[in-house]
Structure 1
Amino acid sequence: MQNTTLRHAARVDAGLVSIVGAAALGLTLVFFAGFANVTHDVAHDSRHAIAFPCH
């Protein structure tokens, strides 16, 4: 009986880790997509500041 309970607990833990990991990945992607324009602008201005052609 104890072995079955441990396997069930491990399955629940693995499922929870998967859900939390997927949520973290999704939030990270949304965060970076939201700031992609800011990141591009900073890189673009930096290239112009050092006279590096960027387009």
Structure 2
Amino acid sequence: MDAAARLILGQEPTALETQGSGPTQLLTKDNLTASAQSDGWTGYPDYQSRFTKLWHPAD
């Protein structure tokens, strides 16, 4: 999805995306912590600031 959004906006995809790979995480019952189950999965703890930095229009 990130690669598609970048292309639509005329931006270059990341090096991994051009190779057909992107950030992934395989969750299993063995690596999913109790706090992740109760708090919900966020991918990255600072995802809000990462998203804003990438997609917020310049003021």
Could you tell me the TM-score, scaled by structure 2's length? 0.24
Which protein is bigger by CA-based radius of gyration? 1
Q: Which structure dedicates a bigger proportion of its chain to helix? A: 1
Could you tell me the TM-score, scaled by structure 1's length? 0.25
